[in-house]
Structure 1
């Protein structure tokens, strides 16, 4: 994002946290996010890299940090990378490389990578379809999660398989104008 160039790491994290609080938690797009947020178990990392190769190295480091960390201290990591993979199709292609890294590190089945992008677009949708906003964050973000944590959360949440459908319903009720109003207090 071009606006990222004028922002400090603290500003980027603040915007990401606002998105997490207002959209992800506030709209209950992920019923598992609130607990790790309240317990301060999310590690926010802003990467200044400008190439996919350098991002892969940052991703490697953060996967290793998460794999070795005490889950009570760091249960999940948001690797925010505002200066690389601005184009959603390039970002989407990178996800295969990221999954390959998980396998190379022998962390597949232990950790997983979710993803968010300002221009996120699900297959078979139009760019402006509201359901895309469930995965739209202020900046490109790789969300590193523990499989064990996901399993625990799913056990405690009945009908976890319906989250996606409920999210679409929530977004359709909210609409794009409502989405923008969520963040209207953050405009310069």
Structure 2
């Protein structure tokens, strides 16, 4: 859990990779769930439970959920396959248009990029994470942010300036504690 909070504080918030994250972080509106699952069926059940809990919770209490998956989905392609399962569960639960998933993985790779492309680091996290977001919260945040479409390009510029070595330096003290 320490590694996730450090990643949030130093990368996501510290580098401002997500300009909407700081608000929910300082208000303690992020639910952190460390999965105990070791197979996809169990993870799908946990995911469904978290979908329902987020739907039924007051956004002032829980605005977003990080389902952290430390025991499985270490291979990015397996993780990517599970995203399809999670996406189907959103449909089955009738939550399309209410909740969406943002994806983070230690080996995240955007389509049509090389594995080591620095742009991939914008979605790299210490563990596989299924980030459940309320679409209404996203809509509010985007409407208050000037030029939200520029976030991705800005993030790539930040990562290019930082470089892989700079990225590693952000977490060097945490990595030594593991």
- TM, length-normalised to structure 1: 0.92
User: What is the aligned partner in structure 1 of residue 129 from structure 2?
Assistant: 141
User: What is the aligned partner in structure 1 of residue 171 from structure 2?
Assistant: 183
User: Counterpart of 2:73 in 1: which secondary structure?
Assistant: coil
1:153 aligns with 2:160: no
Provide the C-alpha distance between the structure 2 equivalents of 1:163 and 1:29, rounded to a whole number of angstroms: 8
Provide the C-alpha distance between the structure 2 equivalents of 1:33 and 1:103, rounded to a whole number of angstroms: 25
Q: Which of the numbers 46, 61, 69 marks the counterpart of 1:58?
A: 46
User: What is the aligned partner in structure 1 of residue 4 from structure 2?
Assistant: 16
Provide the C-alpha distance between the structure 2 equivalents of 1:54 and 1:161, rounded to a whole number of angstroms: 36
1:20-169 alignment runs, 5 A limit: 20-169=8-157
Post-superposition CA distance 1:106-165 (Å, at most 9, x none):
001000011100000011111111111000000000000000000000001010011000
- TM, length-normalised to structure 2: 0.97
In angstroms, what is the RMSD of aligned CA positions?
0.6
Structure 2: gaps (5+ residues): none
Structure 1: gaps (5+ residues): 1-12
> After the TM superposition, which segments of 4 or more aligned residues of structure 1 sit over 2 Å from their partners?
none
